[in-house]
């Protein structure tokens, strides 16, 4: 892949799913922070953004491939909203539905 280039991009459905996921994480983190604010039990965590998720998709580090031997590909990630309380939220995006390869770009191997 050429430096600074993305091999995959989000589809319209993927943009919607990522946007809803990011918003849900913000709402949950806010509730957690409010609930534990007087106990000093909340650590700052990096909340997901569209850019972070797209970067992870393009890195390929969180792919599950051929899960049921049908050539499928998924991006799966668990986002930590509270390290002290082990609160995680999961995101699953499917290749072909939520993200696709950008075939118009020429990539170096």
Structural domain count, the chain: 1
82 within some domain: yes
Lowest model confidence (mean pLDDT) among 25-29, 32-36, 62-66, 73-77: 62-66
Read off the tokens for 102.
């950008």
pLDDT for the residue numbered 68? 52
Host domain of residue 74: 8-97
108 within some domain: no
Average pLDDT of the chain to the nearest whole number: 80
26 within some domain: yes
78 within some domain: yes
pLDDT per position as a tens digit, 50-77: 999 999 998 877 777 655 555 678 888 8
Provide the β-strand partners of residue 76: 92
Predicted TM-score (pTM) of this structure: 0.78
Closest C-alpha to 83, from 56, 57, 54, 45: 45
Q: Give the pLDDT band of residue 41 (cuts 50, 70, 90).
A: low
């Amino acid at each position: 892949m050429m430096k600074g280039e993305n091999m995959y991009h989000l589809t319209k459905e993927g943009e919607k799913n990522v946007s809803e996921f990011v918003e849900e994480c913000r709402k949950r983190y806010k509730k957690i922070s409010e609930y534990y604010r007087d106990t000093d039990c909340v650590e700052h965590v990096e909340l997901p953004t569209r850019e972070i998720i797209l970067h992870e998709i393009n890195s390929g580090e969180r792919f599950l491939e051929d899960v049921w031997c049908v050539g499928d590909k998924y991006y799966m990630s668990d986002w930590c909203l509270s390290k002290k309380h082990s609160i995680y939220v999961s995101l699953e995006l499917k290749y072909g539905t939520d993200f696709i390869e950008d075939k118009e770009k020429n990539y170096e191997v």
